[in-house]
Each structure stands twice: as C-alpha cells, then as structure tokens.
Structure 1
Amino acid sequence: MRRLLPHPILAAFLLIFWLILQQSAGLGHILLGGLIAILASLGANLILPEPVSVKRPLKILQLLAVAGVDIVRSNIAVMLILFNPRPKPTSDFLEMRLELTNTFGLAVLACLITATPGSAWLEYDRERSTVLIHVFDLVDADEWVKTIKTRYESLLMEIFQ
C-alpha cells in the first residue's frame, strides 16, 4: 500500500480540495480526483527529501484556525494602512532565530508568513537557523518575533518534531 500511496495525507488533502473545487462528490469526480491524488503522491515521493511525519495531527486544525484569523486581521490592517492618510508605513527587515528545524515545518512556516498580508519570508540560513522577513509596517520587532514564535513556530514544532 505504501508503494501505491507513499504520502496518504497529501493524497487525502488533494482529493478533498479537488472535490471542493468541483463542487461535486459524484463518482466520476471521486475517481478522477483519486487518480490525480495518487499520481501527485507518487510524484511527490520522487522530490521530497524525507518522509513527512505528523506527530500531533489535531494541532493542524489549531494551526489552520490561528493562521486563518491572523490572515484576516492582517488583511484588514494592511487595508487600513493603505487607506489611512498618514505618513508612509515603516517597512523594514526582521531577522529572527528559529528553533524549528524540520524541513516541512519550515516550509509551512514560510508559506504562512508569506500568505499573511504585510509580511514576506525572504531567506533562511540553515547554519545559523535564522530567517529574514520583510514586514510592510514594522512598529515593534520584538512583538513580531514573539507572535511568530508563540503562534506558529511552537505549533509547528508540536506537529512535526
């Protein structure tokens, strides 16, 4: 079974997203989505450097909820900055040390930071375990570091390490 479906979680998510995008759970959509999910899982097996192991899968739901709320709040904050007639926002670069070392955890963290409006993951230095982030309106760097560490990094460490 592992040879046919080397990444079952990836395949399950792809099938669910396929059915959501098709807005149908008909037999044809399930079969086609299942075929696409299996092929993607086999393709991912060729390029992934290590097997994905999720230690606490229920924490993924907590991470999705936290990230969803943060993305909505950041959208509103960026909109208010853009429409508010005040001096330019104080954009700046922020370098922070990470404790997270899992490849997939780092990839998810990079996606979350970049998906959140007003911030972008720019560079990761594996030797020093630091990340460079650009923030659109950086008011308090320590608050940004604290937010990323407590809201994202700690959850990702529980999930992947």
Structure 2
Amino acid sequence: MRPAAIIALFALVWLAVSGSFTVPNLLLGIAAGALSLALIRGHVRPDGRRIRPLKVLSLLVLFLRELALSAFKVALLVASPKMALKPGIFAFPLTVDRDFEIALLANLITLTPGTLSVDVSEDRKVLYVHALDCSDPAGMRRAIAGGFERKIMEAFR
C-alpha cells in the first residue's frame, strides 16, 4: 500500500474515532497519520539509508543519561581533595563512515563532560579523544563503541 493511502486511511480512522468531521481535525488526522507512518517505517534518505525516529529518540535518551553521569563523575573528581587524574588522548577506531555520523559522534563526545574530540584522521578511520581521566582507554573505547556509536548506526542506517 502506498504511503499516501495509508495516511489517508489513518486520517479517516482519526475522524471516525474523534467524531469531529471538520477541516482542522482532518488536517490533524493527516499529520498524526504521517507521524505514525514515519515512526513505524522511518525515513529513507536518497542514499538508501534510513532515519529511524524512535532510534534517534533512544540516542537522545542515552546522551542525556551519559551527560548526567559524566557531569556527576567530573564533579566528584574536581571536588575530591586529592584529584587523582590521569588526563590523556586516546585513539578511537571509527565504525561510522559518513561525515554526518562522524560529526555527530564527535559532538556527542565533546558535549559529554570530561571528554573532548580533538581530531579525526585524514582517512576518517580514527577519532582522537581527550579524556580528563584516561586511566582505562580500552574501557572508554568500549563505552563509546557500545554506546554513542552503536546508537548512531541504529538511528541513521
């Protein structure tokens, strides 16, 4: 079934359920039908990749959670009297390959307290990340790969 027909069907169901057959309510039904279809199917980009709105929302939730946790950890590090920090830069091998995905990952890392994206290699295979506490770079690589990078690939592929 074509998307326009599905949206029209959703709009008709909306009119029947709401019991109000007005033009504004019809427009609301069309908008709700289009949004429902977008959430179910996702958007297909010209390069054949999809944008999945629910996965984008999942990425946003992950970012907000990491933002809160990292802010708390940085506050504890800074407030501790000894401040046992081991700052450093580590190389993160990229699985994402498109400029948009790399830029999004770099920005999410930079916006998370305690980390900063420094540079991307010429071949776009490695992202260099500065961490306030780089005592476990392998663990940080795993966390980024299993968190932000995985969610980006789920949302935009």
TM-score (norm 2): 0.66
Q: Could you tell me how far 1:139 is from its partner in structure 2?
A: 2.1
Q: Could you tell me how far 1:158 is from its partner in structure 2?
A: 1.7
Whether 1:150 aligns to 2:146 is yes
Q: Which residue of 2 aligns with 1:85?
A: 81
Task: Give the conservation status (yes or no) of the 8 Å contact 1:102–1:160.
Answer: no
The residue matched to 2:109 in structure 1 has which SS? helix
Q: Could you tell me how far 1:110 is from its partner in structure 2?
A: 1.0
Structure 2 alignment gaps of length 5 or more:
1-45
CA–CA distance in structure 2, aligned partners of residues 67 and 134 of structure 1 = 18
Match of 1:74 among 54, 70, 74: 70
Whether 1:122 aligns to 2:118 is yes
The aligned length equals 112
CA–CA distance in structure 1, aligned partners of residues 107 and 117 of structure 2 = 8
Q: Which residue of 2 aligns with 1:133?
A: 129
CA–CA distance in structure 2, aligned partners of residues 87 and 68 of structure 1 = 25
CA–CA distance in structure 2, aligned partners of residues 60 and 128 of structure 1 = 23
Whether 1:110 aligns to 2:106 is yes
Identity percentage of aligned residues: 28
Q: Following TM superposition, where does structure 1 have runs of at least 4 consecutive aligned residues deviating by more than 2 angstroms?
A: none
Match of 2:92 among 92, 96, 103: 96
The residue matched to 1:94 in structure 2 has which SS? strand
What is the Cα-based RMSD across aligned positions, in Å? 2.0
Q: Could you tell me how far 1:128 is from its partner in structure 2?
A: 5.5
Corresponding letter in the other structure for 1:157: M
Q: Could you tell me how far 1:54 is from its partner in structure 2?
A: 4.1
The residue matched to 2:147 in structure 1 has which SS? helix
Task: Give the conservation status (yes or no) of the 8 Å contact 2:106–2:117.
Answer: yes
Corresponding letter in the other structure for 1:127: D
Match of 2:51 among 48, 55, 78: 55
The residue matched to 1:90 in structure 2 has which SS? coil
Per-residue CA deviation, residues 90-114 of structure 1 (Å, 9 max, x unaligned), is: 0010101111012211111111000
Larger radius of gyration: 2
Q: Could you tell me how far 1:55 is from its partner in structure 2?
A: 2.9
Q: Could you tell me how far 1:126 is from its partner in structure 2?
A: 4.3
